Amino acid sequence: AVLRRAHEMIDDDATDDAALVERLGGTVAVVEGDPENIKVTYRGDLAIVETILLGRSDHG
């Protein structure tokens, strides 16, 4: 709900969701996550995903 409101209310040149939430007065935190949970943005990222998936199939 906070992120949706930030996108609806803030109309500027924010570069990411965190910046929008902060401009709305919200707090943003960094938390540790699964290192295999990667964002696929570029074609080269697919090779990383493929490596991860192949590694999983070899182990189980």
DSSP secondary structure letter of residue 35: T
Provide the domain count of the chain. 1
List the domain range (segments joined by +) for residue 51. Answer: 2-58
Q: What is the mean pLDDT of the chain?
A: 88
Is residue 4 within 8 A of residue 18, CB to CB? The reply is no
Half-sphere exposure of 52 (CA within 13 A, CB side): 12
User: Is the pLDDT assigned to residue 15 strictly greater than 70?
Assistant: yes
Calculate mean pLDDT across residues 41-46: 95
